[in-house]
């Protein structure tokens, strides 16, 4: 089977699950990973035969994709802010909306030597990107999951940055952990109500970690409450808190932060026009 034939066959298989553009995008990612060739190089060498090993790998990749497994988990590879991250089913796949959260932080003035905490760091995409863009910053990443922290550490090494990682439950912090005061606290916490699960795509619902996705219907702001309370104790004067949010809970989150005494509350829409980011000052 040639590279051209492999690409065509994979694309046709993916059209069972995806619209044309998405199928083509996934097909390109798989064939590039398989061959190590760019799109231009694949056009030049389109009649080159796949090796037996490549052919077997393509079959395995295709089977996984047809079970709705996200291509990022199939390849153990995701891109965020132009940086490459290892991902598996212990961490969420980085999203474009979260890049907007990072962009907003990077636009803040006087970021000379800030101390920044990422609560629920997962793959480490927020913390690591901030360290890459702000090399003088001291960055901390906190997560309850040992598996997620191992992936964060792997990604920090992959991207050649130094991050202080802390294993802790923000809902029930160990009093023995000593935190410094931070200039910025950021979090993309679990925010999808369990009742919303039926509306989600199978590639998310069946593969991404539920611990990082869902909150109880009767207490959907549980993480925002805990992080806001933590921030009141550990944000410096004039420090800022940044959240990624469930757009349907925007008003409730703003009201919560107002009731806690935060000021300069701003809500920002993402590239899809949904209320997605809230920032506040102490």
pLDDT at 270: 87
179-200 pLDDT per residue, tens: 999 999 999 999 999 988 888 8
45-102 pLDDT per residue, tens: 989 999 999 999 999 999 999 999 999 999 999 999 999 999 999 999 999 999 999 9
**Alpha helices by DSSP H, the chain:** 3-14, 20-35, 39-44, 52-66, 71-75, 96-106, 125-133, 146-158, 202-205, 222-234, 250-259
CA–CA separation, 234 vs 265, rounded Å? 18
Q: What are the φ/ψ torsions at residue 167 (nearest 5 degrees)? A: -90, 115
CA–CA separation, 26 vs 234, rounded Å? 43
Which of 10-14, 182-186, 268-272 comes out lowest in average pLDDT?
268-272
> From residue 84, how far is each of 41, 76, 164, 257 by CA, in Å?
21, 10, 20, 34
8 Å CB contact between 133 and 104: no
Q: Mapping DSSP to helix (H, G, I), strand (E, B) and coil, where does residue 186 land? A: strand
pLDDT above 90: residue 106: yes
pLDDT at 92: 96
Domain boundaries, the chain: 3-67, 80-281
Angle, helix 146-158 to helix 125-133, in steps of 10 degrees: 30
Say if residue 4 is exposed, middle or buried (CB neighbours under 10 Å; 0-12, 13-18, 19+): middle
pLDDT at 175: 85
pLDDT above 90: residue 271: no
pLDDT at 13: 95
Average confidence (pLDDT) over 12-31: 94
Pick the residue with more confidence: 269 or 188? 188
Handedness of CA 257, 258, 259, 262 (dihedral sign): positive
216-230 pLDDT per residue, tens: 999 999 999 999 999
Task: Place 21 in a pLDDT band, splitting at 50, 70 and 90.
Answer: very high
The architecture that CATH gives domain 80-281 is 3-Layer(aba) Sandwich (3.40)
DSSP letter assigned to residue 173: -
DSSP letter assigned to residue 81: T
pLDDT at 132: 97
CA–CA separation, 189 vs 249, rounded Å? 13
Torsion of CA 172, 186, 228, 279, to 10 degrees: -160
Which of 95-99, 107-111, 125-129 comes out lowest in average pLDDT?
107-111
The tokens describing 235, both together, are 């944000």
């Amino acid at each position: 089977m040639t590279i051209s034939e492999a690409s065509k066959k994979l694309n046709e298989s993916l059209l069972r699950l995806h619209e044309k553009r998405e199928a083509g995008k996934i097909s390109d990612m798989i064939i590039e990973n398989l061959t190590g060739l760019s799109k231009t190089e694949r056009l030049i060498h389109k009649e080159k035969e796949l090796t037996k090993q490549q052919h077997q790998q393509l079959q395995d990749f295709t089977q996984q994709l047809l079970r709705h497994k996200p291509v990022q988990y199939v390849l153990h590879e995701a891109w965020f802010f132009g940086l490459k991250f290892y991902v598996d089913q212990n961490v969420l796949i980085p999203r474009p909306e979260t890049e907007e959260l990072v962009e907003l932080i990077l636009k803040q003035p006087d970021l000379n030597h800030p101390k920044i905490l990422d609560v629920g760091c997962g793959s480490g995409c927020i913390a690591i990107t901030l360290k890459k863009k702000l090399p003088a910053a001291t960055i901390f990443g906190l997560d309850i999951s040992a598996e997620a922290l191992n992936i964060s550490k792997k990604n920090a090494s992959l991207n050649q940055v130094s991050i202080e990682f802390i294993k802790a439950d923000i809902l029930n912090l160990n009093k023995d952990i000593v935190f410094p005061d931070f200039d910025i606290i950021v979090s993309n916490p679990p925010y999808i109500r369990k009742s919303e699960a039926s509306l989600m795509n199978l590639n998310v619902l069946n593969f991404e970690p539920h611990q990082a996705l869902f909150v109880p219907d009767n207490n959907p702001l549980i993480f925002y409450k805990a992080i806001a309370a933590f921030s009141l104790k550990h944000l410096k004067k004039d420090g800022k808190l940044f959240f990624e949010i469930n757009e349907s809970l925007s008003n409730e989150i703003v009201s919560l932060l107002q009731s806690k005494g935060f000021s300069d509350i701003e809500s920002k829409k993402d590239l899809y026009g949904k209320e997605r980011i809230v920032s506040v000052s102490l």
